[in-house]
A = this chain, B = another copy of it.
């Protein structure tokens, strides 16, 4: 039989007992399941960043993988704990928008509010539902407990708005949505959108004071220190500098605008 896989995505970091205690709780319930870290370095309380990263990672895993995601600033407050079943995957975590784009991409089958204490640790702390609710629910799910056993089905859940690039005449205005480990600036301008906007015309990409008029195929293309625009592995327009960090080089920050100007 193939083992169940549970992935973990949190903003907990790896220096404390938070992640390990969740893993312990899971393995106590299902000692056979495989645990895979997506990341624990989501910026603290940054639901949007977590949602984005999860949406670009979940589908690489085998179908039926259970994705446990906890970026949870409202823990212990009114936000609901949920289980979201998409066509091919399961997601467990807080109902705060974290599952917005996985739902959009894979199609939502059902959403259950987690209310059945039979599948929680006891007592439940008011500060750490990752350990007390989400981890045990994910573990029982991996044992084959059916979604509806965890609570009542709900029809509404929280979703976030995706900041789409805006078109103003001959300008497309996007923004930097993520800066990766290499200091590459990942924008919200998707490949399709870019090409449908520029219509085979010449173009100019403006980021800070920098102007770029062509697309590169890969990081290797530039000379050392050259600022390049290219489409990265998630198919978003990305600004990179050969063997340097674009973030420092262009003094860029998340949220900074990026402009595409189309010629005639």
Contacts and interface: CB of A to CB of B under 8 A. Distances in A.
B18 A5 contact: no
B243 A20 contact: no
A61 interface: yes
A50 to B, nearest CB: 11
A14 to B, nearest CB: 6
Contact of A13 (B57, B181, B231, B234): B181
Q: Is chain A's interface secondary structure helix, strand, loop, or mixed overall?
A: loop
Total copies of the chain: 3
Interface stretch (A143-151, A214-222, A253-261): A214-222
A12 B61 contact: no
A154 interface: no
Contacts of A53: 16-17
Nearest to A21: B60
Contact of A233 (B56, B77, B131, B218): B131
B14 A36 contact: no
A207 interface: no
A14 B34 contact: no
A251 interface: no
Nearest to A178: B16
Closest 8 CB pairs of A and B: A24-B60, A76-B218, A13-B181, A77-B220, A128-B233, A15-B41, A24-B61, A20-B38
